[in-house]
Structure 1
């Protein structure tokens, strides 16, 4: 496959991943408004993210069965259609139960994408360029982190939360039609997660180590993000529109990080990049509790600054576990349960702590866990080796 074709494929998959992430992340800046409209408690509001991941998990586990029949390309189209359907149901919901139904479908759709998307990329590019290619792909979530709060800040006053969700659903529907017609790559098939393949990878200690890293990274990058606007508004007393602008602008640092992270991974290795990302992210997470005023704003910006570099580094290390044929099973297992923990259980626990008036404990625990992993990576000198 020539270079220009690879570039077009990466841009398409970046766009798909952007919409997939935007559809999940948009609920973070909308959470305060949805909570008020549907009369939810803090724990119920936090549980919305748990339900998304409850759908995400079976969606990812089933992705191997789907891609074995539809190929990776067909699986990506189906993923977009499910995300659109779930978003429409959530937009039309009038009760907590109806909202949960839509979010479960949305989660199942977003869960189907990662194994097929990553497998499509690693099948098309050389090992030497894999770090850079995955870094480009991970620009999708980084841009979505910026776009979600800015979109809400710009459109909420004129459209409301339901119309914003409807707009996001239409974007997914349009992308499904576009990718079905013009999509590049993804011609390979996945492997269903048969017990023999699962047993082959779960017996490897490096899989469990990567799982722990992904749990902590996702807790900090996405779990905290889900509840951060709510925390800054209700606990720190900041203005809602100002919070969405601040959180959105803070995520631009992640885009800048990803532009150089591929080079850093290829030049210095995954271990160095992860130690650097976790050091800055861990210290900044602690100061989200301790700081106030302009200093708090500074650490809101610094907290995600280098965490975006985790994903190309972590995914590259993950892709080196087991045989190439079982790669989608390895990715599905680790990302699936790490997302369930970091994107689902952590926001739900933070919502429960918020109702108890102790949400700061959650922030301090995540920051401390990141710093402990820096020490662990320092001792684990073979991490990420080919």
Structure 2
């Protein structure tokens, strides 16, 4: 494992990443309260995540233009303080237009972190520990899935939902300031994106296939997750506190399963692993949209169990399908593009379904969509470009 100074720096960056991710999903457990407060419909609530994902997509693509001028270190600082500042700004907003505009800036601020965070991490940690260091860093999203509903519910006992955002925003600003004062690494500059390489990548059919696969993978985890509180509270009559607690507990297994999926991928290969992930996740998502009564909590636990297993085989397939010259760019573009669909459009669709028909139909239809990933995964030819 990394030595103590490296480990401290790694945990510091992982904490900033956790706050970064939490800032983007905190609106899920807060959404029943926000809907009541503003009297908005479900599709408007779902569009919150679409707006955040659009800002995230733009920022992640353009982050190189920032880091090439102010260094990775300063980019991380700006991202952490910016995320906190926007959350505090939302807590002071009095109308929906201000909130929606702030959500776009939240995505813009959050998207700056990841490229600079990874670059700083690989500078601080010796090469032989890169795999373990990145694995620790990538635990932040799964841990965030678990603790965000719990943090929201605990704070909601004492504060309004705007107060919850104020607290998380303040912690993010503090983390940015502490990194500026004591954080190590990142004192070098990034590279601006190669526009010619981007053009070549966008003309590759395999790139768009991987965007579809990653969109379906993110739909099964983040897309459904963000709308589960509304689904459980509005459609199944659960108490908000119990719904958020149930969702948090259901995500604990993801921390272990995401690590286990790496071993499964090495044993069976990315293609067969992806087929299995889409088949099982799609079926469980469909059943979550169909069942009712005492079976609901059971499938709330089952649905994300294999959804989190997508990413190790997904990245392995992406690495095999793209040439070395464009591999890093392919990764940096595939994920944010898929995030717009899986983490933005899918929650908006579930919200729209909740208004027009039912949340159950929305989740059912997303399950059908995820199940179609079996066909896309079956037809990819690893190691061969077309």
TM over 0.5: same fold? Answer: yes
Q: How does 1:165-184 map to 2 (within 5 A)?
A: 165-184=165-184
Counterpart contact for 2:280–2:306, Cα < 8 Å: yes
- 2:258 is matched with 258
2:91 is aligned with 1:91 = yes
Distance 2:195 2:119 in 1: 20
- 1:275 is matched with 275
Counterpart contact for 2:46–2:351, Cα < 8 Å: yes
Counterpart contact for 1:45–1:351, Cα < 8 Å: yes
* Closer/same/farther in 2, CA of residues 47 and 376 from structure 1, 3 Å limit: closer
Q: How does 1:114-153 map to 2 (within 5 A)?
A: 114-121=114-121, 132-153=132-153
- 2:55 is matched with 55
Deviation at 1:265, TM superposition (A): 4.1
2:219 is aligned with 1:214 = no
Counterpart contact for 1:116–1:186, Cα < 8 Å: yes
Distance 1:238 1:250 in 2: 16
* Closer/same/farther in 2, CA of residues 211 and 171 from structure 1, 3 Å limit: same
Deviation at 1:227, TM superposition (A): 1.1
- Tell me the SS of whatever aligns to 2:249: helix
Distance 1:236 1:384 in 2: 47
Deviation at 1:323, TM superposition (A): 4.0
Counterpart contact for 1:57–1:336, Cα < 8 Å: yes
Distance 1:262 1:124 in 2: 24
- 1:193 is matched with 193
Distance 1:20 1:173 in 2: 11
Deviation at 1:67, TM superposition (A): 1.4
Deviates more, 1:356-365 or 1:315-324: 315-324
TM-score (norm 1): 0.89
Distance 1:308 1:84 in 2: 27
2:343 is aligned with 1:343 = yes
Deviation at 1:66, TM superposition (A): 0.8
Deviation at 1:380, TM superposition (A): 3.0
Question: Which segments of 5 or more consecutive residues in structure 1 lack a partner in the other structure?
Answer: none
- 1:106 is matched with 106
- 1:368 is matched with 368
* Closer/same/farther in 2, CA of residues 265 and 66 from structure 1, 3 Å limit: farther
Distance 1:291 1:20 in 2: 34
Distance 2:300 2:314 in 1: 23
* Closer/same/farther in 2, CA of residues 253 and 383 from structure 1, 3 Å limit: farther
Counterpart contact for 2:81–2:174, Cα < 8 Å: no
Deviation at 1:15, TM superposition (A): 1.4
* Closer/same/farther in 2, CA of residues 185 and 74 from structure 1, 3 Å limit: same
* Closer/same/farther in 2, CA of residues 167 and 327 from structure 1, 3 Å limit: farther
- 1:304 is matched with 304
Counterpart contact for 1:131–1:265, Cα < 8 Å: no
Distance 1:356 1:266 in 2: 44
Counterpart contact for 2:63–2:112, Cα < 8 Å: yes
- Per-residue CA deviations over 1:5-60 (Å, capped at 9, x if unaligned) read 55444323321221111111110010111111122122221111122122212211
* Closer/same/farther in 2, CA of residues 220 and 383 from structure 1, 3 Å limit: farther
* Closer/same/farther in 2, CA of residues 19 and 307 from structure 1, 3 Å limit: same
Counterpart contact for 1:270–1:383, Cα < 8 Å: no
Deviation at 1:226, TM superposition (A): 1.3
Distance 1:142 1:4 in 2: 24
Distance 2:123 2:355 in 1: 47
Moved over 6 A (4+): 123-129
2:68 is aligned with 1:71 = no
* Closer/same/farther in 2, CA of residues 209 and 218 from structure 1, 3 Å limit: same
Distance 1:9 1:29 in 2: 30
Distance 2:96 2:160 in 1: 18
2:33 is aligned with 1:29 = no
Deviation at 1:169, TM superposition (A): 0.2
Deviation at 1:297, TM superposition (A): 0.9
